Structure 1
Amino acid sequence: MMTRSRLFCLLTALGSAFMILFIIVYWDNVGTANFNLHTSFSKSLPPQSVEGRPTVAPTAENNVASDVDEFLDSFLNFGTTVGELQGTKTGKLPIRGSSSFEENVRGYDWSTKGKLEEAILEQEIIQQERKLNLRKFCENSSFVFPTKERSFDDIPNRELDHLIVDDRHGVIYCYVPKVACTNWKRVMIVLSESLLDRKGVPYQDPLQIPREDVHNSSSHLTFNKFWRRYGKFSRHMMKIKLKKYTKFLFVRDPFVRLISAFRSKFELENEDFYRSFAAPILKQYFNQTNVPTNVVDAFSSGTKLSFSQFIQYLLDEKTEEQKPFNEHWRQIYRLCHPCQIDYDFVGKLETLDEDAALLLRQLNIDSLFQFPPSYKNKTASSWEEDWFSKIPLSWRQKLYKLYEADFVLFGYNKPDNLL
């Protein structure tokens, strides 16, 4: 016969489980009507100290999201503290800092500063056209590409690692490498206050955040980390935040993005990409047996991967069979799932400054900082013909088919002059 104490424990557990489900269902069903999760910083509120580190003073709006998260975290024991997000056990944010070789080489272009106001209205109209184009082709049954028909629940957790979440402001950003993602990640770090500078306070200027810290996965809360926090409720919590938060991404002409990726990873001395890709490609496809073991020796001896060799590697069916495309040249639709996620804002690198100004205004954070400017030495669309001039026509046609969905979904014209 069950003792009173065991019965009491059972009833308590059942009651707690019911409360969790009640909170989730309530927030899911009526949260939009009652809660405005798109909060903004308040300069009039002084920071308060928590465990020796500064935090933003709580507001009624951002407490709603955080209270639900904290309750689920503590009860389910799937909680991820700030310290765990950063890979520490103390709960304190790490202090970081160093310079970036690539950013020093390319520099920044400040020429557009102060020239954006007149473009805002026009960009709002363009923004609506981009979203309509995206929905049109996602709903067009005659336009088919891999993964298009699957539901959000069908997307494997490992493919959700590009969706960065900021609960403080109700923002979700899907980052696409080679589309200003370094600076947008910097913005997300400033908004979420997920990193401290050397003085022990959250970064306020995106450009002050070192590049290597920006691309450290521990600096961001992404969808694929929700399993740690919410356990079996994680997919449901993703859907809640997708429903209520502002979701945005930035895209780029697919062929120009490929050129940019090649320039960044193979024309500069990048040890990781040399060892992981350049050296194996040269050995496998071009029978170069005496390939240098490191990138410095390779560049000194003139051993470099050519653009045509890179394209041949992409077109080989065995490439995808052995390992999915690296994120720097993986198709955008595979990174951000635009037919499964209804994005509120679709920016383009070709109009980065105008789009960034508009988005910051729509998020109510344009008074906090200016979006970092573009690189001076940025890969341009006009370079396409020169870069593809030595690529066989049949290869170009196959390459277009490989990236066709990105061209169509995001409104880029088919490059007929190359095809």
Structure 2
Amino acid sequence: MGMWRGLRVAFLLGSLFMILLIIVYWDDVGGFNLYPLQDPKHESLSSDFATELSLSPSPTRAQITFTTTTTGTITSSTNLIPEKPRGSAEEEVREDKQEHMREETRVEEKSQRSQPYLDDREQDVRKQRIMDVCSGDDGVEFPGRTRAFEQVPNRELDHLIVDDKHQIIYCYVPKVACTNWKRVMVVLSQSLISPSTGKPYTDPEAVPPDLVHNSSLHLTFAKFWRNYGSLSRHLMALKLQHYTKFLFVRDPFVRLISAFRNKFGRPNEDFYKQFGSVMLRRYGNVSGSLPETAAEAFAAGIKPTFEQFIAYLLDPETERKKIFNEHWRQVYRLCHPCQVKYDFIGRLETLETDAEHLLKLMRVDHLVRFPSGSRNLTATSWERDWFAQIPLTTRRELYKLYEPDFKLFGYPKPDSVLH
């Protein structure tokens, strides 16, 4: 009995001694860790994830984050960016060419973005000039300069065409590409049906030019009173405030030459009866009766001259009765630039670039293109020849009649004609 008791005591003491050894050397043993020993600077990787990572492209620039939970589960978030493989010499040359092309494209786009800024700057100059003349800073006086828009009679608003669908107002000026701009307005407003398709025209060049001058096709401010009654002026004010408003202008003397060539340089029955016959009787020293028709008159060599046309414009009787057809009426009387704050002032002399910029401004360049028809051949260089037979005093009187248009739209004084 004493022996067995001694053995049990020895066994217990041995067990206690082993337990004390385990406790003392626990940190060196590493505990009962199921994972391989790792560098203490890094976290543990699960064997599955480590295998997956080893099969993926070399993560030379990877950012890897791991979190070990108390249950032994590992969660990970990776943003692996594989290193670009080194290509052959031909591939490198091809990539250099592609990069060069991309750089050229960026330069071109930058140039295109800067171009509208230059156009906008020119528009600011044109608009500021109108404001200066209308405020009296230029010392030019003309009828209606200081009146408010509400004081403009309805009958004088018949050149302001309204497109409600695209929120556009266009004041058309005859002999300043107005036929093509009216075509554009017809396409945008879808106011004319093509007989061949049974649908509204989509191409301005396909719209017959003789039809676009039919006043029934266009909604103008002059028609508002009939359509909206007492609300018409209020609606006009709202549209003028929110719509894009534009017009195109031209050198005033060149416009006069163009109007004369178009209406009196060839037989035109309406203009012959209404204006040509009056010019011939007043200033032509025509004895006897005039031919009944323009065709007969032209066949007999009887037709108004440019000098007679100018005399008619300067006749106090003509001015007193305001018998100014729209083709030679001053632009300030057609479009009222002192009352309507236009967003865009285009010029016939820069028609193509102005038209392109305007369509983009109105956000309709994807719907319509300005017709690229033939340009009117009348040029500023013709003025000296056309005015050669006009007395100097008459030329100066004519300039005073159209001086507001010269000043408002920035056309230089025609010194070669006036001196």
TM-score after normalising by structure 1: 0.70
Spell out the pairing of 1:247-396 with structure 2 (5 A cutoff).
Answer: 247-288=245-286, 289-396=288-395
Counterpart amino acid of residue 126 in structure 1: E
Q: How far apart in 2 are the matches of 1:249 and 1:171?
A: 11
**Seq. identity, %:** 58
Change (3 A) 1:119 1:309: farther
Structure 2 SS opposite 1:302: coil
> How far has the Cα of 1:243 moved from its partner?
0.4
* Distance in structure 2 (CA, Å) of the matches to 1:121 and 1:276: 47
Q: Separation in 2 of the partners of 1:377 and 1:163?
A: 23
Distance 1:120 1:209 in 2: 30
Q: Which one has the largest radius of gyration?
A: 2
Deviation at 1:376, TM superposition (A): 4.1
Q: Is the contact made by 2:284 and 2:304 (CA closer than 8 Å) also made in structure 1?
A: no
> Could you report, residue by residue, the CA deviation over 1:224-269 in whole angstroms, capped at 9, with x for unpaired residues?
0001211011011100100000000000000000000001101122
Q: Aligned partner of 1:178: which letter? A: K
User: Deviation per CA, 1:64-102, whole angstroms, max 9, x where unpaired?
Assistant: xxxxxxxxxxxxxxxxxxxxxxxxxxxxxxxxxxxxxxx
Q: How does 1:89-104 map to 2 (within 5 A)?
A: none
Matched, 1:187 2:181: no
Distance 2:291 2:330 in 1: 30
Residues 1:152 and 2:156 are matched in the alignment: no
Contact kept? 2:174, 2:327, Cα under 8 Å:
yes
Give 1:369 shift.
2.7
Q: 1:215 aligns with which of 213, 217, 220?
A: 213
Greater alpha carbon shift after TM alignment, 214-223 vs 263-272:
263-272
Q: Is the partner of 2:247 in helix, strand or coil?
A: strand
1:122 maps to amino acid? L
Distance change in 2, residues 1:137/1:290 (3 Å) = same
CA distance in 2, matches of 1:162, 1:274: 24
Find the aligned partners of 1:213 and 1:343 in 2 and give their Cα distance. 27
Structure 1 CA distance for aligned equivalents of residues 293 and 312 of structure 2: 20
- Secondary structure at the residue paired with 1:140? coil
Q: Are 1:163 and 2:152 counterparts?
A: no
* Counterpart selection for 1:173 from 164, 170, 173: 170
Shift of 1:391: 0.6
Return the offset for 1:333: 0.1
- SS of equivalent residue, structure 2 residue 345: strand
Query: Structure 1 residue 131 and structure 2 residue 137: aligned?
Result: no
Hey, what's the Cα distance between the residues in 2 that align with 1:269 and 1:399? 26
Q: Does the C-alpha gap of structure 1 residues 192 and 157 become closer, same or farther in structure 2, counting only changes over 3 Å? A: same
Deviation at 1:280, TM superposition (A): 1.8
Alignment of 1:61-140 (within 5 A): 120-140=116-136
Contact 1:120 1:354 in 2 (8 A): no
Structure 1 unmatched ranges of 5 or more: 1-115
Does residue 204 of the first structure (1) align with residue 202 of the second (2)? yes
Maintained 8 Å contact 1:119/1:354: no
The offset of 1:377, in angstroms, is: 4.5
State the shift of 1:309 in Å: 0.6
The one-letter amino acid paired with 2:210 is E
RMSD between superposed Cα atoms in Å: 1.6
CA gap of 1:393–1:169, structure 2 versus 1, over 3 A, is same
Conserved? CA contact 1:269–1:296, under 8 Å: yes
Q: TM-score, normalised by structure 2?
A: 0.70
- The superposition leaves residues 94-133 of structure 1 with CA deviations (integer Å, 9 ceiling, x where unpaired) of xxxxxxxxxxxxxxxxxxxxxx999655333211111111
Q: Structure 2: where are the runs of 5+ without partners?
A: 1-111
1:322 Cα deviation from its structure 2 partner: 3.1
Do 2:245 and 2:343's aligned partners in 1 also have CA atoms closer than 8 Å? yes
Match of 1:47 in 2: none
SS in 1 for 2:246: strand
CA distance 1:300–1:120, change in 2 (3 Å): farther
Distance 2:244 2:222 in 1: 18
| 2:415 match: secondary structure | coil
CA shift at 1:368, angstroms?
2.2
Q: 1:236 aligns with which of 212, 234, 237?
A: 234
